[in-house]
Structure 1
Amino acid sequence: MVHLGPLGGLTGGTSKREVLRLYREIIRTANAFYWPNEKGEPWSAVLKRSARKEFEEARNETDPLIVARLVVVGQQCVNETRNKFNAMEEQIKNRVKSTRNR
């Protein structure tokens, strides 16, 4: 997930509430990735750490257009990730179901 958004430095149309909502949504989405990576670390931990880093890097952004763009792009990334995850999960369920009926 790239450019997930800032935690602070907000002015203009994007509120801290919107940013916090996005951050929480990212954390909830990351929790779905329970399997480990090649190093044995759960992907959820890797994704949460990455999100935190992205938010911290943008913490002091004051340009309202940049802040708004970061939030919009972050939300798009979350939506795309959830859609792909759900589609893949559905494929796996269907494959398991079809092999059980043989």
Structure 2
Amino acid sequence: MPSREMREHIELLNGADHRIPSASPLFGDPAGLPPLLIQVGTAELQLSDSEGFAAAARAAGVDVTLSLGEGLPHVYPGMRNTPEAAAATDEIAAFLRKHLG
């Protein structure tokens, strides 16, 4: 079930164009964003969206790390007690150390 915030956001669209930046970052201007780490499984339904956003952000000069989890599903980094989640968590920690010191 979607979170309360997600339900409110969906209701706010109320049939409005989902391609507006406030509805999806895919349609916004990524210029000026901080460094990004995008972790997405190759079995994820939003894989192409993640790849497209990463490409757009790179084109706008954003430092982007796109990490593909081969054969993994949506939110695989949250699959507790799996080697894939442990590796994703390690990658997040390394990313944060690199960019936050």
Larger RCO, structures 1/2 (Cα 8 Å, 6+ apart): 1
Bigger share in strand:
2
Bigger share in helix:
1
Q: Which has the larger radius of gyration?
A: 1
Same fold (TM over 0.5): no
